[in-house]
Amino acid sequence: MLPCTATIDSMKTTIRKMGNSQGVLIPKPFLAQLGLDKEVEMEVENDAIVLRRPRNKAREGWAEAGRALAKSGEDRLVMGEFGNADDSELEW
């Protein structure tokens, strides 16, 4: 048996209601062809919605950047701390 190497270039599909939004189901061959799994980057280019493999995961590198910032001593609060003096008057 030979592996299928055909690619799909275009396909027409319908827009479906999904809760308060609308969506398009992406056919499995498209996902496989592009190596997409759970996340995509989405943007509008001219008159098209473009989906791409994510370049970076959300918040990727934030922990390391925070540690580097603290190590450099540049992690001070810009606005200072907010006081809680009036919190005793709050009813929970």
- The total number of structural domains that make up the chain: 1
Q: Which residue in 48, 64, 47 sits closest to 56, CA to CA?
A: 64
Within a domain: residue 40? Answer: yes
Look at the block and give the residue holding tokens 């008159």: 47
Within a domain: residue 91? Answer: no
Within a domain: residue 35? Answer: yes
Q: What are the 10-residue block averages of pLDDT along the chain, 92 residues in total?
A: 62 90 90 87 93 82 91 82 75 74
Within a domain: residue 50? Answer: yes
- The CATH number of the domain where 38 resides is what? 2.10.260.10
Rounded to whole angstroms, the Cα distance separating 55 from 73 reads 30
What domain range is 23 assigned to? 10-73
pLDDT for 74 equals 84
CA distances in angstroms from 35 to 16, 38, 54, 78, 80, listed in the order given: 24, 10, 11, 42, 46
pLDDT for 6 equals 61
pLDDT for 5 equals 59
Within a domain: residue 60? Answer: yes
Within a domain: residue 56? Answer: yes
pLDDT for 9 equals 74
pLDDT for 85 equals 73
pLDDT for 3 equals 56
Look at the block and give the residue holding tokens 């003096």: 85
